[in-house]
Amino acid sequence: MKIAILGTGMVGVTIGTKLVELGHEVRMGSRTATNEKAAAWVKTAGAKASAGTFEAAAAFGEVVFNCTSGSGAVEALVMAGEKNLEGKVLIDVSNPLDFSKGMPPTLFVSNTDSLAEVIQRRFPKAQVVKALNTMSCSVMVNPRLLPDTHTTFLSGNDASAKATVKALLSQFGWKREEVLDLGELSTARGTESLLPLWLRVWGATQNGTFNFKLVAAKPG
């Protein structure tokens, strides 16, 4: 599959690398066509990796991963071009973290809205699916890093878009029973809301390689 990665940070590099390993053609997008981090990634990731502007990447991809920082997400997507997102699955991995008020960061949108919904409203013809935003990127692409099963959440308004994301998650190594579809995109308010707890667990344990597992009583 042809996949666009928007963002050259650790999340973009980690997901991009995994997708190339899985045999996908991946184009990493950034502000300029000559981004150094993207160029370095292309060199190490191999023949199926390429780089370009946000626009070139989005035009290339059948599926688009938003791996930008939350605060830069809408601007990056505007640069990617509304037309290049039309009818495509847009997997939003970003979180609305605001680092301007000190650590730990707060959320610049929360409670009665979510960044995923902000993006969906701005790009109504994209099929936004919120996914993988509740863990470190090493865990996103390699869930078996952890010594137990654990849970990843999906939110989105389009069932076929969520099926596409589920298939990618399966390729990443997620077991079927580890993926919980929470429902429509507004449920991303829930997963984005996990960040304030995620950050405090990280602070208390000094270990960012973790995730949460849903443990439920058997019905009846």
Length of the chain, in residues:
220
Q: Do the beta carbons of residue 93 and residue 169 sit within 8 Å?
A: no
Query: What b-and-e string marks burial along 59-81, b requiring 16 or more CB atoms within 10 Å of the CB?
Result: bbbebbbbbbebbbbbebbebbb
By C-beta, is 72 or 183 nearer to a copy of itself?
Answer: 183
Minimum CB distance to a copy of itself smaller for 83 or for 213: 213
The yes or no reply on residue 71 touching a copy of itself (CB under 8 A) is no
Selected from 27, 88, 150, 162, the binder of a copy of itself by CB under 8 A is 150
Kindly report the backbone phi and psi dihedral angles of residue 20, in degrees, each rounded to the nearest multiple of 5, phi listed first.
-65, -45
107 binds a copy of itself (CB under 8 A): yes
Of the ranges 37-45, 75-83, 143-151, 157-165, which one interacts with a copy of itself (CB under 8 A)?
143-151
Nearer to a copy of itself, 82 or 212 (CB): 212
Is 160 near a copy of itself (CB under 8 A)? no
Contact flag: residue 211 with a copy of itself (CB under 8 A): yes
Neighbours of 210 (CB within 10 A): 16
Q: How many CB atoms lie within 10 A of CB 197?
A: 11
Among 148, 160, 176, 177, binds a copy of itself (CB under 8 A): 148
32 is a contact residue toward a copy of itself (CB under 8 A): no
Q: Is 199 helix (H, G, I), strand (E, B) or coil?
A: helix
CA distance 13 to 21: 12
Complex with a copy of itself: residue 46 or 203, whichever CB lies closer = 203
User: What is the rounded distance in angstroms from the CA atom of residue 168 to the CA atom of residue 30?
Assistant: 23
Task: Answer for the pair 109, 115: CB distance below 8 angstroms, yes or no.
Answer: yes
* Residue numbers at the binding site for a copy of itself (CB under 8 A): 101, 106-107, 110-112, 145-150, 153, 180-183, 187, 189-191, 193-201, 203-205, 207, 209-219
